[in-house]
Copies of this chain bind each other. A is one copy, B any other.
Amino acid sequence: MDIFLKTIGSINDETRLKILHFIDVNGEVCVCDIEKSFEMIQSRISRHLKILKDAGFLKVDRRGRWAYYSIRKPLDQFRQSILKEISCLDMNIPLLNKSCKVG
């Protein structure tokens, strides 16, 4: 029940829905990609990513000074059905803006 509520709570927010869909569409991205694309401050993005990760939707892979987030795989049936439903929403997500300072 607690895990279910954590999962549901994680998608009960417009910003997180957009971030989740953004990652679903663009694949692996780092925090500053999202920060730049969404034009939101870093602490806000970081916090939402943590919530989505703790809810089982995302995994993080640290390489160098970057943290790369992507959809966790394999994803169970229920979370898959949620991602599918989200992908059907008419949601306005920004274009990927890759502008980390060093390649």
Listed in ascending order, the chain A residues whose CB lies under 8 Å from chain B are 1, 4-5, 8-9, 11-12, 14, 17, 77-78, 81, 85-86, 89-91
Dominant secondary structure of chain A at its interface with chain B: helix
Quickly give the copy total for this chain. 2
Cβ of A14: which chain B residues have Cβ within 8 Å of it? 1, 5
B1, B12, B89: the one within 8 Å of A12 (CB): B12
- A21 → chain B closest CB, angstroms: 10
B5, B77, B81, B89: the one within 8 Å of A1 (CB): B89
CA distance A34 to B65 in the complex (A): 54
- A69 → chain B closest CB, angstroms: 21
CA distance A11 to B10 in the complex (A): 12
